Amino acid sequence: MAFDTKIREFFSNELKGIKEKGLFKEERFIASPQSAMIKVEYPAGAPPKEVINFCANNYLGLSSHPEVVKAAHEGLENRGYGMSSVRFICGTQDIHRELERKLTEFLGTEDTVLFPSCMDANAGVFDVVLDKEDAMIADRLVHASIVDGMKLCKAQLYNYKHLNMAHLEEKLQETQNCRFRMIITDGVFSMDGDIAPLDKICELAEKYNAMVMVDDSHATGFLGKNGRGTHEHCGVVGKIDIITTTLGKAMGGASGGCVSGRKEIVEMCRQRARPYLFSNTIPPVVVAAANKVVDLIASTTKLRDKLEENTKYFRAKMKEAGLDIREGVHPIVPVMLYNAKLAQDMARDLYDEGIYVVGFFFPVVPQGQARIRVQISAVHEKEHLDKAIEAFKKIGAKYNILGKKKEEIIAMYGL
Amino acid sequence: MGEDLKKLIIDYVKKEYLDEDSDQEITENTPLISSGIVDSFSMVSLKTFLEKKFNIKIPDEKATTDAFDTVNNIIKLLGEFVKIDT
């Protein structure tokens, strides 16, 4: 046996260290389909409790939508369960090609290739497009999967202050002698709901002859007039060279991702991207349901419109109640509390009130910027939103933070 | 060179990592990474800046978050690659 006491002790101590730092992640078991109301077993072993879910990325409420579930059943019946092959041997069905075509049309790009996840898309794409004579210039708050993808690429790495276009321009000037340059950003940043100014980014990209890559996982399906994403919201459809996105959030929420964009780059991914080459792709049942998802959102904006209305209503009422909300238009609504313990305590009390939200603190968000992240969905009805608002008022009053400014909250609770 | 180097790094850290209106003070002993002023991903700018400035290559195994946590630590690290008069 090679897993001897020394090795076991090493990992036990590592885990102890994670716990001591307050970074130990525990799963909560959900005994119902993903929806507005879910049954949660928390803590482990406790009887399931019905709560309103405000922490899923189920933006359009499609995770358990009857038409999507029906399409999944049909997919399972008609195309089976698994493929038992990578794409280029015998792992591609007609429905995979259909989904890639539909996504291309919906996103307004030239071509699309599916990946097992967006994490895999981000892990694969940079290494395919860039080499050591090139530069990657990334926003400092890009998603961890982009950071990992960039680590796998030999190109030189630069980063700019979050959303700071002047700093980005400095980096573009600094890298003028590189062969290719790529500006890399999230469309929407998941902790703040901040939206990247893609119009300005595209202007700079044109001025300095750089490509633009956007991970639009928190926007595809609902941001922009037709829900195409951040590029539609910013008026630059057709100008983004590479979009990576996920089917695991608004688009039905199961799993899967893609690289969509310039056809040569997409084709290069088919030839060389390692997570595409050396892994099965999305299973038929998920592909069949995802095809239905794209049909649904391409045929009507009803769901994204409802999400937008819900978001406006919730943001306005929370502000009115005196909570410190980060300004914005995105259904990610950060309730700023600054202090890590306060965020955790309030999230726990809100859970007791039947509102499932999560507190985030350093190192997930910058030091001193602890918050509760609320995520609005089209599946929420007004009474769900009102219950959450009332619960925030009650718990906010308990901790005496209603109507308090940042400095006052910090004075009471520290950073 | 020690004092000049200290100023060079502090000035760069302020310009590269702090907001224009920030009143945060940075000294040679201010923790940069463990305090959250610089995250480990953003640290690459500082590494590239020093490599270009001194025409050196800091290997990844030496570019630890500890080695970059304070200006003093960074100067100590640089000492392995360039001659620094203190």
Give the pLDDT confidence score for residue A318 in this predicted structure.
Answer: 98
* Best mutation target, A159, A167, A185, A191, to test chain B (most B CBs within 10 A): A159
Give the pLDDT confidence score for residue B19 in this predicted structure.
Answer: 86
DSSP H stretches of helix in chain B: 2-17, 43-54, 71-79
Give the pLDDT confidence score for residue A21 in this predicted structure.
Answer: 83
Q: Is residue A394 helix, strand or coil?
A: helix
Give the pLDDT confidence score for residue B1 in this predicted structure.
Answer: 56
pLDDT band with cut points at 50, 70 and 90 for residue A68: very high
Rounded Cα distance between A247 and A71, Å, is: 15
The pair of three-digit structure tokens given for residue A368, joined into one six-digit string: 């001193």
The pLDDT of A156-164, averaged and rounded, is 95
pLDDT < 50: residue spans in chain B: none
The pair of three-digit structure tokens given for residue B37, joined into one six-digit string: 């002023």
Give the pLDDT confidence score for residue A366 in this predicted structure.
Answer: 84
Q: For the CA atoms of chain A, what is the radius of gyration? A: 22
Given a contact cutoff of 8 angstroms between Cβ atoms, the answer to whether A95 and A291 are in contact is yes
Give the pLDDT confidence score for residue B54 in this predicted structure.
Answer: 92
Chain A residues near residue B34 by CB distance under 8 angstroms: none
Give the pLDDT confidence score for residue A192 in this predicted structure.
Answer: 94
Region of poorest pLDDT, from A15-19, A255-259, A396-400: A15-19
Chain B residues near residue A368 by CB distance under 8 angstroms: 36
Give the pLDDT confidence score for residue B86 in this predicted structure.
Answer: 57
- The minimal CB distance from B36 to the residues A157, A159, A362 is found for A362
User: Does A353 have pLDDT greater than 80?
Assistant: yes
Amino acid at site B55: N
Instruction: State the DSSP string of A53-72.
Output: E-S---TTS-TT-HHHHHHH
Please report how many Cα atoms fall inside a 13 Å half-sphere around the Cα of residue A323, on the Cβ side: 31
User: Does A218 have pLDDT greater than 70?
Assistant: yes
Chain B residues near residue A156 by CB distance under 8 angstroms: 48
A162 as an active site residue: the answer is no
Give the pLDDT confidence score for residue A24 in this predicted structure.
Answer: 87
DSSP state of A326: P
A95-110 pLDDT, tens digit each: 999 999 999 999 999 9
User: Does A335 have pLDDT greater than 80?
Assistant: yes
The pLDDT of A145-169, averaged and rounded, is 96
Task: Write down the ipTM of this complex.
Answer: 0.83
User: Does A278 have pLDDT greater than 60?
Assistant: yes
Rounded Cα distance between A298 and A255, Å, is: 20
- Mean pLDDT over all residues of chain B? 89
The pair of three-digit structure tokens given for residue A279, joined into one six-digit string: 């892994």
User: Does A333 have pLDDT greater than 70?
Assistant: yes
Give the pLDDT confidence score for residue B34 in this predicted structure.
Answer: 84
Given a contact cutoff of 8 angstroms between Cβ atoms, the answer to whether A364 and A191 are in contact is yes
Contacts of A33 (CB under 8 A, 6+ apart): A63, A64
Region of poorest pLDDT, from A115-124, A214-223, B61-70: B61-70
Rounded Cα distance between A78 and A197, Å, is: 43
Rounded Cα distance between A304 and A11, Å, is: 46
B contact residues 24-63, partner A, Cβ 8 Å cutoff: 35-36, 39, 41-42, 44-45, 48
User: Does A114 have pLDDT greater than 90?
Assistant: yes
User: Does A235 have pLDDT greater than 70?
Assistant: yes
Asked if B65 reaches chain A (Cβ–Cβ under 8 Å), the answer is no
Give the pLDDT confidence score for residue A51 in this predicted structure.
Answer: 98
Rounded Cα distance between A232 and A242, Å, is: 14
Given a contact cutoff of 8 angstroms between Cβ atoms, the answer to whether A378 and A60 are in contact is yes
Give the pLDDT confidence score for residue A367 in this predicted structure.
Answer: 82
Residue whose C-alpha is closest to residue B27's, from B86, B75, B84: B75
Give the pLDDT confidence score for residue B20 in this predicted structure.
Answer: 82
pTM: 0.94
User: Does A358 have pLDDT greater than 90?
Assistant: yes
Residue whose C-alpha is closest to residue A36's, from A306, A385, A415: A385
A85 as an active site residue: the answer is no
Rounded Cα distance between A56 and A208, Å, is: 39
A28-63 pLDDT, tens digit each: 999 999 999 999 999 889 999 999 999 999 999 999
